[in-house]
Structure 1
Amino acid sequence: MIREFFYLQKSDRKVILSALCVMLIAFGIIIFTGRAEKDTNTFSSADTIRKEKEHQAYKQRYKQHPQMVYVRTKVVYRDTAFRRGHALSNREHDSLVARYQIKISEGEHVILNTADTAALKTVPGIGPYFARKIVQYGQRLGGYVSVDQLDEIEDFPLDAKDYLVVQNASPRKLNINQLSLNELKRHPYINFYQARAITDYRRLHGPIKSLYDLKLSKDFPQEAINRLLPYVAY
């Protein structure tokens, strides 16, 4: 058979070799796609081990700080291939990830001002993105005085507020008689014009004794005064 191959015309040999190459390429593609499909439909053992370690670490943290969160233990594992293969927005990602975390049940709560990102991720609807946002915004504020302040975080899932509480709020105070304009406007509740109104009042009238001293300024409507009150000292 092989000897007869060499007696064929050159053009015929080329046709046969080309056909063999096409068959080999097609066979390789079938094998490769079959393996890829198998990989995307199986759980990663490494992912499972990592999740189990996270679960054990969380239980240890809960034993050390039981006042932070009360949780019913539940672990679900997620397909690693799906996580890698889908581009999601922050909110969509958090919504999806939140389904596969240990979650607290209805009637259980996380204390907002003492919770770290690990505890916050136990709240239904909150994943890594919003857990970080909650902590970062709380640091900028100087602490939360109301759960409703979470509405100020863009696209925050409002249903998650039912699982969060503020207890014994003790926010960090700003001494508005000592801070400079630039220092004042770093607070989320003081913009440039409000900071300038404060420094102008001090320059013209002396120390501020109450935020109501600023109520004649157009930059300090009653709503602005009310939300800033817990954060100022004189």
Structure 2
Amino acid sequence: MTTITRGRRARSTAAVVLAAAATTAGMIVAAAPAHAADQYIALAVGFVNENPPVTMAGGSGINSTEEGAAMSALTNCSGNGAGHCAAQVIAKNECAAAASNDYGERTGASAATLSAAQSKAKSLLQNQQGAKIIVSGCANGSTPPPPNDPPPPPPAPKLGPTVSFNTVIGGLEAHITDRSGVSSQCTYATDNFNRSFGLAANSTYDLRIVPAVPRFRNWTVTITCDNGTSTTATTYF
């Protein structure tokens, strides 16, 4: 009897241990993290200016479905001022990039890293003139910083002053008119004659060359101003 009782107690203790182990295992399985859901990134590109060099803008969208990502990208593309937007590339759990060139050719590519996707998209362009990335990003939400605004175009060169002549008693008069819009100090120079004068912005200065003896020949006159402008003219005197 004693032997049977001990056997029953041993079996009972073993069953409790196994039950506890099973419960613990169940808790571990329940706590295991689930796989992250797939994410899609879509890129769309459209035209801002269709005349070469073509200007384009793009948009991106991230969603758990291809359709949702594509719709977001198209909406974003139009919102960025582009017309005729079209989905260029859709990638799942990867990075993507869309590229274009001066002729409006568009390409898209995906890769494991953003830099690889950008490089691949540009390499697919048949013509590399003006090749650039229009839009790029990754399905995990990582996107590059927006490109810096292009530098402003250099200012148009200032126009040199105009000059006209008329004879006056005892000599010659030059009417010099500023076209640069910037006040400056100028020099009037010709053979054996050199004179400095101030020329206010958008004004005319009458320079009298008196006394001056007519020699009945062409004179080349150069007017040089310290605002970077100059003019060369010829007068018969």
Specify if TM > 0.5.
no
Which has the greater radius of gyration?
Answer: 2
Identify the structure with the greater strand proportion. Answer: 2
**TM-score, scaled relative to structure 2:** 0.29
**TM-score, scaled relative to structure 1:** 0.29
Identify the structure with the greater helix proportion. Answer: 1
